[in-house]
Structure 1
Amino acid sequence: MGKKQKDKGGDILFESYYRQIFEDRWPALKEALLVDRKPIAYKDGLEAEYYLDEASVIAAKLLDVQSKDSVLDMCAAPGGKTLVLASLLKGTGSLTANDRSSARRSRLRNVIDSHVPEVWKASISVTGHDASKWGLYEQEMYDRILLDAPCSSERHVLCDPAALKQWTPSRPKHLAIQQFAMLAAALEAVKIGGYILYSTCALIPLEDELVIEKLFSKREGRFELVPIEAPFSEKRTYGSIILPDTSGGKGPLYFCLIRRIA
């Protein structure tokens, strides 16, 4: 990064970076990101309602979890998508909810304890592993994996002056490296014939379809993409994204469904 770029505030860098990507769409998209979310109540067999973005429910259901599946939620906290997966399994099979952060894992346990019926809890385990190294320890173990990867979360950045001030273009670059490592690990951990749903709440291709593109370049012949149709979504080169300016405030949420074939 040159000196002139370093001297700019994070807000100026952020604005320039995203305007370059979204061009004329950026003002409307930015305005939609600044509007408070309108979460929906999700229950479907749970003990209590959990409020989350409808886009998150849509994405989690795209994994098409079946009764008795072995399921891994690689980056599970705070737990909304975990509850959707649990409600699909209904106590059958197994659900591993993982998060490396002890603080986030504590919140995850609280969400599970206060929402999941007692009879389902025996099939759910909470772990604290490094998702990027998962494939080193467990290979071909899961029927379905949800990788909702840590990302730029631009909606949060825009609404947090301190985070916006500190933002630099290096942040999404570093995150994309981590995201690919996690996705490559998921490909090792899923069974042949099993499915991975890769998702982020990032806006930009670098953390979304370009991570999938990198998987094609590094793991060619070992997986295929599964076509999906999701409400409120728009197609990208690989996968789809729900953006708040065209979905009534939902998202952002990118998702791509992958099937391991070798």
Structure 2
Amino acid sequence: MTKTTRNTAAATEESFHKHYSAIWGGVRWQTSLYPALSAPTRYCALVNRYVPAHEARRALQSGSNEPGALPESLQQLNFPNVSVNDGKSAQASIGPICYVRPAPSSGEKVSRVGSTAAPLTFPPPQPAGSTPMQLLTHWNLDAASALAVSVLNVQTGDSVLDLCAAPGGKSVALAQSMWPHLHADSPVEPSGRMTGRLVSNEADGRRQKRLAENLQAYLPPQLFKQGAVSCTRVDASISGPSLNALLAGGSFDKVLVDAPCSSERHIIHAHLKAQGSGNLAPEMANWRSGSSKRLAKTQVELLMTALKAVKIGGQVMYATCSIEPTENDGVLEKMLALLGFPGASGASTMDEQLEQWAERTKHGWMVLPDHPGGGRWGPLYFALVTKIAG
């Protein structure tokens, strides 16, 4: 690295810290939020209920000294209890099931990316030998993603669109709730044609191909044969025939928009990893404080597409893994202004439960790894929008 490059890198890093210190407060950024973002990402294991439970247990206990059952060190996550439209409680038995290893205590030093400390992760998923297609046992993901899926509260028979779906973890999580009669351990025998559908969409060709492969590795083949699950490639931010075709399939009950974003934690991790070997990460070198405005334009377009796709009374979950308000509440502000509701703010019936995971924003919730609850999940911003008129 030349002296000029080194100086440029130092200036960019300084600008990065100044920018986010101004947003989150200097003390919190330096002493809490930045160190938490610098730590290795914590994962939970989303269990694939389309494989037998004993197969999932075997995969999760890989390397454990506790054969025959889940290791006692694993804990099942409890997601908020969401109410469905008819006032009944959502059936927890068909929601996402996620296991997690206990996080270090609050007084315990947290490692940074590049350290030799053992990450809070799980073994890779394994093919379930007892299923004809050898479906994979679990998906390792940030629990904040599973939280957003849980809050969206997909029900059996729903028509669901995952607008920016790659690599597929959230689609797999959504699918867990949609066809419980196909769960490997379900006492109900599957019969007849499937109700409900899941459309997983990705604009990028290479990522869409990988998305399709992942869905086929986790979900029962009859879902694809009967058209209950499909994988499309449409840029949902650009109007045209392809987008019209996607929206022409009928209104969706639920739409998930996990929008492309600044992904600051990825930038921080790439920077620390490169710094450890005396290099400069392009992610940090290319960072600019104004980039969020360009991204926000695309994010608003995606959110407006989602609102066109969802039926009246249906819901859209907007999410990003950015800590930049321009890409989060700012996008909701622009959406509300375009729809003629300037100044509106969000409301929630799950505040007490969600506060264990996240902090409230004007229009949504922000899951951050320095949250007092100690989960160390995120970052993930999410906001649930209900369509009340056409």
Task: Provide the C-alpha distance between the structure 1 equivalents of 2:266 and 2:377, rounded to a whole number of angstroms.
Answer: 14
Partner of 2:256: 146
Partner of 2:202: 99
- CA drift at 1:68: 1.1
- CA drift at 1:16: 1.1
Partner of 1:258: 385
Counterpart residue identity of residue 301, structure 2: A
Partner of 1:18: 20
Task: Provide the C-alpha distance between the structure 2 equivalents of 1:228 and 1:234, rounded to a whole number of angstroms.
Answer: 15
Task: Provide the C-alpha distance between the structure 2 equivalents of 1:224 and 1:258, rounded to a whole number of angstroms.
Answer: 11
Partner of 1:3: none
Q: More relative contact order in 1 or in 2 (CA 8 Å, sep 6+)?
A: 1
- CA drift at 1:190: 0.9
Counterpart residue identity of residue 38, structure 2: L
User: In structure 2, which of residues 44, 63, 67 is the aligned counterpart of residue 40 of structure 1?
Assistant: 44
Q: Which of these two proteins has the greater Rg computed from alpha carbons?
A: 2
Q: Deviations over 1:31-69 (max 9, x none)?
A: 101111121111241342111001100001111111111
Aligned positions of 1:5-154 closer than 5 A: 9-23=11-25, 24-27=27-30, 28-46=32-50, 47=135, 48-90=137-179, 92-121=195-224, 122=226, 123-133=228-238, 137=244, 138=247, 141-154=251-264
Q: Does 1:155 align with 2:265?
A: yes
Q: Which sits farther off after the overlay, 233-242 or 115-124?
A: 115-124
Partner of 1:235: 360
- CA drift at 1:143: 0.9
Is this contact kept in 2: 1:41–1:51, CA < 8 A?
yes
Change (3 A) 1:14 1:228: farther
Counterpart residue identity of residue 15, structure 2: L
Task: Provide the C-alpha distance between the structure 1 equivalents of 2:383 and 2:266, rounded to a whole number of angstroms.
Answer: 22
Partner of 1:215: 335
Is this contact kept in 1: 2:202–2:234, CA < 8 A?
yes
The Cα RMSD (Å) is 2.2
> SS at 1:131's partner residue?
coil
Task: Provide the C-alpha distance between the structure 1 equivalents of 2:9 and 2:215, rounded to a whole number of angstroms.
Answer: 45
Q: Which sits farther off after the overlay, 57-66 or 41-50?
A: 41-50
- CA drift at 1:245: 0.8
- CA drift at 1:117: 2.1
Is this contact kept in 1: 2:346–2:362, CA < 8 A?
no
Q: Deviations over 1:8-36 (max 9, x none)?
A: 73212211110111112112111101111
Change (3 A) 1:228 1:76: farther
> SS at 1:56's partner residue?
helix
Task: Provide the C-alpha distance between the structure 2 equivalents of 1:116 and 1:224, rounded to a whole number of angstroms.
Answer: 38
Q: Greater helix percent: which structure?
A: 1
Is this contact kept in 1: 2:9–2:285, CA < 8 A?
no
Give 5+ residue unaligned stretches, structure 1: 1-5
Task: Provide the C-alpha distance between the structure 1 equivalents of 2:147 and 2:311, rounded to a whole number of angstroms.
Answer: 24
Is this contact kept in 1: 2:167–2:211, CA < 8 A?
yes
- CA drift at 1:259: 0.6
Change (3 A) 1:7 1:60: closer
Counterpart residue identity of residue 85, structure 1: L
Q: Deviations over 1:149-182 (max 9, x none)?
A: 0111100011113201210012111111110111
Counterpart residue identity of residue 86, structure 1: A
Is this contact kept in 1: 2:203–2:236, CA < 8 A?
yes
How high is the TM-score relative to the length of structure 1? 0.91
Q: Which sits farther off after the overlay, 157-166 or 130-139?
A: 130-139
Task: Provide the C-alpha distance between the structure 1 equivalents of 2:360 and 2:33, rounded to a whole number of angstroms.
Answer: 17
Q: Percent identity?
A: 37
